[in-house]
Structure 1
Amino acid sequence: MFIPEPFQIDVPQSKIERVKQRLLLTDWPDEIPLQEPWSRGAPLSEVQKLADYWVNQFDWRAQERRLNRYPQFTADVNIEGFGTYNVHFLHQKSTVKGAIPLLFLHGWPGSFIEVTKMLPALVEGARESPAFHVVAPSMIDYGFSQGNTKEGFTLDQQAEACHQVMQGLGYTEYVVQGGDIGYYLGRFIAWRYPKACKAMHTNMAQPPTPDSTKHADLLAKIECAGGLSEVDQAALAGTQLWAADGMAYALLHTTRPQTIGYCLADSPVGLLAWIYEKLAAWTDDYPWSPDEVLTWVCLYQFSRAGPAAPQRLYLEMARRKPIPADQQASHYLAVPLGVSRFKKEILRLPLAWNETLGPIVLQKDYEFGGHFAAWECPDILVSDLRQMFAKDGPVRFETRLHELPQ
């Protein structure tokens, strides 16, 4: 039986003190002076400043109090072939009649925290715009969800866990928003549970390259338009550059997660540098404050399964049978799809290719923003969701709920 239990973040003081001790004992690497300080990773001076702030000024308890203002819960779900897992999730219900259940899916190095900037606008709605009941789970192995200890736990199982959370809360039908791994997870949910998942919105669409066998009509349409637009050509070139220069982390996660796991579990500075470099590189000059960076990092440092656990999902996605998870996610699905593309998204593929994924009901292209759209551009993402699910919008959603827990 699905029984949500109220949850409050309360990291043991001994863990907080142990992290500070490790920070003080850091053996720092040297650094070659560079004309472009970020060209080889996070600069020494930047990481040292953050580490010093972590020891001497950062107040994790204040961040706990802030996060604990959001209604959070844990509940057990039973995953076929794997057993019972205790899943953490944020659940903010709207008081607006006819509010739409929205499942928000994070990726790496994100977490459920990403939805919090959008939460007030989503649950309150606006004139002539829909409101949403928001559910933001921590994936298994992430945040305050239980860790997995069995081989083969991939997006099929993550999707089953998220779907059970929504069903357990009484949301028999719902919509999904996700980027990064959350995009792939959302596609799995739409594939496995199409009667429940009525539509999906993403800020990181990953369509396959069209081929003449499967996508002849689309290729003809692109050819008639004179080929890919200049914007799409530039987006594709940027993605190819990132694939050559920015994917080392993903290759390591995918092939040797245990090896990098020792570094991330043992060294708070290692974890800080590993995550901070992505926060800086994948955003559009977003002014990260030390408190923001360290809160994101601490949600991995103090995670229930530990800092080594989240990377394992990359390997399981790649080794999934009969086909890898990214290939499965690229199949055409009849579930309506909305896409918002941002300037500094790491995987920015041509908008023209998105038709290979399913019926495109909303498509926006922005000359700003980056990979963490919900954090960088919350108002824009809220606006796109409102447009997609407006009464006169492209997706009609009639709320059907079981009795919700009080």
Structure 2
Amino acid sequence: MMDAETPGVGDEVRPYKIRVSSKYLDLTRQKLELTRLPHEGSAPSSADWWEPKPQVEPLIDYWLDKYSWRDQEAALNEALPQFRTAITLSAFEKPVRLHFIRVTSPHANAVPLLLIPPFPLTNLSLGHLVKPLTEPEDAANNQPFHLVIPSLPGLGFSDPLPNNTSIISTIAEVLNTLMARLSYPHYLATNSGAASQSPAEIDWKLVNTLATRYSTSCLGAHFIAPPLSTPKISEAPWEWTKWSIANFFRAGILGYDDSDFQALNRTYVPWSVGKRPPTPQQFGLNKLGLTEPNTLAYALCDSPIGLLVFVMKGLRALGPTSNFTPEQVITFTELAWLPGPEYAMRFWAYCATHDEDEERKEKEKKAAAQAAKPRVAITVFLGGKDAPVAPQGDVELTALPPPLRTDDKQKYVCPAWANAHYNVLHTQRVAGKPGLLAWEQPEVIFKGVRGLAKQILRLDKRLAPGITAPTAAEPAPLQKVVVIPASDSSENAGGPSTPANALSPVTDSDATPKPGLKVPESTRPGLAPTPSGQKDSDQTVVSTSNKDIVNTSSDKGKGKDLEVPKKPFCEGSTPDTLISSSPMAMTPSPSPIAAA
């Protein structure tokens, strides 16, 4: 896959804009129009079965007739300062290009925060969290942050890692390198979803690896519903003693709270001492049995409706009380559809079948014995009934299936259990269940990470504002968009590209995304990977890996006069924007998003 960025310049951070090839949008429409749905059956034979037709058919019509990806794309480019940088690791021959959002706070007391999106979502779906974290209404009492939100490798606009890579440890290294490159040698990190609900524990493994292996730079981490175990006498005798006494009396003593035991009493089976809660492989999305990803990847890469149904079921499994609009559900699907979901499936399958922590268990035990415990904040959910969530705006159709009956089996974790391996500085207990936290209860994330920041700033001067604040530098403008002319043939595909019209610099936006991917009508967000070819007008876009695809349509989105490609959606033809920007000696510091 060709790219207009200068090869071999690994330390540059470049402004980035999304532009999906019209070829992919036209082919997507063609596939939607040719959709074949399964025959309707009789009444389901199981109460857990779902009959998708009442929700899926209206969504297909909405996707074809009302939904506009270009509106979503323009909104994201306008609202969120995006960048990309190539990170070279010793184990890889080629650098990994990482896409990220970076918004610096205007407040002098801001500190750096790495916000990790919930897998398999990408960074651009979290735009509604930017303003509350960077520009809180009361910055004196609500800690502001310089915010960095990456898209994990293989998702969205970030390159995938090579095969047979230790994914979790490598991504942790990439993220830590990114923060250092942005002039943040010390920072905090937080999940944006419940670790206990993460597919294959990916969210938990990432933030835990950052906290334990990079504790000299990641000075504190916010764990949300972590899958912790009770203390063991062989590892932490004093913590084991405190837990044993508190558990014997079932009382809020020695660091435990009465609400801990009330929550434990609501769980499916009471915990025994030393027993770890069941991992997410035993419930939720991992019940799909995703141990071999390629079979499912072939199906989902070829069918936007197949992927839509997969997304719908995943959203319902993780957020049973969420009420997303049709536009939001389709945008989530487009985020996975346009780059192709295969790398996310392989990422998931690898983490479901490889336990990197176990492979390094002995080595880490020795290192942990000599090092200080990582500093963390812990947020847990006490369970019980969830409060009903009101629909977001005028919802004309039910966009999601009925709830899945899996949440009742998720077990409670006492925050004090973490004291066996971590230095717990802040604890937050929240009523109910987490759901899709970033959309349903974002204030839980804010409160947890601010509680952590308050304690870290009290104990560690390395995070004090003014020490890790970035050097002011204006972002370099995007100078050119490089497109491959329609006349270019496969024979000269390796030749130089022709420069086209100039793009305006990355600028601030008045529009701040609302929760659930909603912003004002003129700037509605969405996400998609960048195209292999960039559209210069309404005339031509050519995929660099599939040069015989030519779009002669002037009727956007209708797919008219579309020449069928010889190898449509072939390997390597994922959309990727060809953008050239001037080299920067210093990391750009975009201005924060202005108030709406």
Which TM-score bucket, shorter chain as reference? Answer: 0.7 to 0.9
Q: Find the counterpart in structure 2 of residue 76 from structure 1.
A: 86
Q: Find the counterpart in structure 2 of residue 150 from structure 1.
A: 163
Deviation at 1:327, TM superposition (A): 11
| Alpha-carbon displacement from aligned partner over 1:303-361 (angstroms, at most 9, x marks no partner) | 2xx21111212333333557369999999772211122244796553124333441122
User: What is the alpha-carbon distance in structure 1 between the residues aligned to residue 235 and residue 288 of structure 2?
Assistant: 29
Which runs of structure 2 are paired with 1:125-136 in the superposition (5 Å)? 125=136, 126-136=139-149
Deviation at 1:247, TM superposition (A): 4.4
1:257 paired with 2:293, answer yes
Residues 222 and 273 of structure 1, relative CA distance in 2, 3 Å threshold: same
Q: Find the counterpart in structure 2 of residue 27 from structure 1.
A: 36
In the alignment, which of 262, 266, 270 is matched to residue 230 of structure 1?
262
Deviation at 1:367, TM superposition (A): 2.1
Which runs of structure 2 are paired with 1:334-373 in the superposition (5 Å)? 334-342=373-381, 343=383, 348-351=411-414, 352-368=416-432, 370-373=434-437
1:122 paired with 2:123, answer no
Deviation at 1:151, TM superposition (A): 1.6
1:267 paired with 2:317, answer no
Task: Indicate if the aligned counterparts of 1:205 and 1:349 stay in contact, CA closer than 8 A.
Answer: no
1:8 paired with 2:72, answer no
User: What is the alpha-carbon distance in structure 1 between the residues aligned to residue 176 and residue 82 of structure 2?
Assistant: 17
Q: Find the counterpart in structure 1 of residue 108 from structure 2.
A: 97
Q: Find the counterpart in structure 1 of residue 515 from structure 2.
A: none
Q: Find the counterpart in structure 2 of residue 112 from structure 1.
A: 123
Residues 354 and 275 of structure 1, relative CA distance in 2, 3 Å threshold: farther
User: What is the alpha-carbon distance in structure 1 between the residues aligned to residue 233 and residue 374 of structure 2?
Assistant: 24
In the alignment, which of 366, 369, 386 is matched to residue 450 of structure 2?
386
Describe the SS at the equivalent of 2:289: helix
Greater mean deviation of Cα atoms: 164-173 or 325-334:
325-334
1:286 paired with 2:286, answer no
Describe the SS at the equivalent of 2:99: strand
Task: Indicate if the aligned counterparts of 2:188 and 2:220 stay in contact, CA closer than 8 A.
Answer: yes
User: What is the alpha-carbon distance in structure 1 between the residues aligned to residue 220 and residue 43 of structure 2?
Assistant: 50
Task: Indicate if the aligned counterparts of 1:74 and 1:88 stay in contact, CA closer than 8 A.
Answer: yes
Residues 142 and 222 of structure 1, relative CA distance in 2, 3 Å threshold: same
In the alignment, which of 455, 459, 464 is matched to residue 398 of structure 1?
464
Give 4+ residue runs of structure 1 displaced > 4 Å after superposition. 34-37, 235-245, 324-333, 343-348, 391-396
Residues 391 and 197 of structure 1, relative CA distance in 2, 3 Å threshold: closer
| Alpha-carbon displacement from aligned partner over 1:88-134 (angstroms, at most 9, x marks no partner) | 00101111113111001123232213432221111113232221011
Q: Find the counterpart in structure 1 of residue 512 from structure 2.
A: none
Residues 365 and 327 of structure 1, relative CA distance in 2, 3 Å threshold: farther
Residues 223 and 169 of structure 1, relative CA distance in 2, 3 Å threshold: same
User: What is the alpha-carbon distance in structure 2 between the residues aligned to residue 236 and residue 359 of structure 1?
Assistant: 29
What is the aligned-residue identity percentage? 23
Residues 242 and 80 of structure 1, relative CA distance in 2, 3 Å threshold: closer
- Structure 1: runs of 5+ lacking an equivalent: none
Letter in 2 for 1:87: L
Deviation at 1:206, TM superposition (A): 1.8
User: What is the alpha-carbon distance in structure 2 between the residues aligned to residue 196 and residue 74 of structure 1?
Assistant: 21
TM-score by length of 1: 0.88
Deviation at 1:284, TM superposition (A): 4.8
Task: Indicate if the aligned counterparts of 2:285 and 2:314 stay in contact, CA closer than 8 A.
Answer: no
1:171 paired with 2:184, answer yes
| Alpha-carbon displacement from aligned partner over 1:214-262 (angstroms, at most 9, x marks no partner) | 244333323322346130343465976976553445631xx20112111
Task: Indicate if the aligned counterparts of 1:336 and 1:395 stay in contact, CA closer than 8 A.
Answer: no
User: What is the alpha-carbon distance in structure 2 between the residues aligned to residue 209 and residue 48 of structure 1?
Assistant: 47
Describe the SS at the equivalent of 1:389: helix
Residues 153 and 243 of structure 1, relative CA distance in 2, 3 Å threshold: closer
Deviation at 1:27, TM superposition (A): 2.1
Describe the SS at the equivalent of 1:149: coil
Task: Indicate if the aligned counterparts of 2:122 and 2:156 stay in contact, CA closer than 8 A.
Answer: yes
1:246 paired with 2:284, answer yes
User: What is the alpha-carbon distance in structure 1 between the residues aligned to residue 313 and residue 319 of structure 2?
Assistant: 10
Q: Find the counterpart in structure 1 of residue 391 from structure 2.
A: none
User: What is the alpha-carbon distance in structure 1 between the residues aligned to residue 267 and residue 430 of structure 2?
Assistant: 12
User: What is the alpha-carbon distance in structure 2 between the residues aligned to residue 182 and residue 192 of structure 1?
Assistant: 16
Task: Indicate if the aligned counterparts of 1:184 and 1:326 stay in contact, CA closer than 8 A.
Answer: no
Deviation at 1:198, TM superposition (A): 0.5
Residues 71 and 44 of structure 1, relative CA distance in 2, 3 Å threshold: same
RMSD of the TM alignment (CA)? 3.1
Task: Indicate if the aligned counterparts of 2:84 and 2:100 stay in contact, CA closer than 8 A.
Answer: yes
Tell me which structure has the larger Cα radius of gyration: 2
Task: Indicate if the aligned counterparts of 2:230 and 2:417 stay in contact, CA closer than 8 A.
Answer: yes
Greater mean deviation of Cα atoms: 171-180 or 335-344:
335-344
User: What is the alpha-carbon distance in structure 1 between the residues aligned to residue 455 and residue 357 of structure 2?
Assistant: 40
Q: Find the counterpart in structure 1 of residue 578 from structure 2.
A: none
User: What is the alpha-carbon distance in structure 2 between the residues aligned to residue 15 and residue 44 of structure 1?
Assistant: 26
Describe the SS at the equivalent of 1:224: helix
Deviation at 1:41, TM superposition (A): 4.7
Q: Find the counterpart in structure 2 of residue 301 from structure 1.
A: 337
Task: Indicate if the aligned counterparts of 1:114 and 1:374 stay in contact, CA closer than 8 A.
Answer: no
In the alignment, which of 189, 196, 206 is matched to residue 217 of structure 2?
196
Q: Find the counterpart in structure 2 of residue 160 from structure 1.
A: 173
Deviation at 1:143, TM superposition (A): 1.0
Deviation at 1:139, TM superposition (A): 0.7
Greater mean deviation of Cα atoms: 93-102 or 377-386:
377-386
Greater mean deviation of Cα atoms: 166-175 or 219-228:
219-228
Describe the SS at the equivalent of 2:219: strand
Letter in 2 for 1:72: Q
Q: Which has the higher contact order (CA 8 A, sep 6+)?
A: 2
Describe the SS at the equivalent of 2:88: strand
Deviation at 1:73, TM superposition (A): 0.6
Task: Indicate if the aligned counterparts of 2:321 and 2:435 stay in contact, CA closer than 8 A.
Answer: no
User: What is the alpha-carbon distance in structure 1 between the residues aligned to residue 317 and residue 72 of structure 2?
Assistant: 24
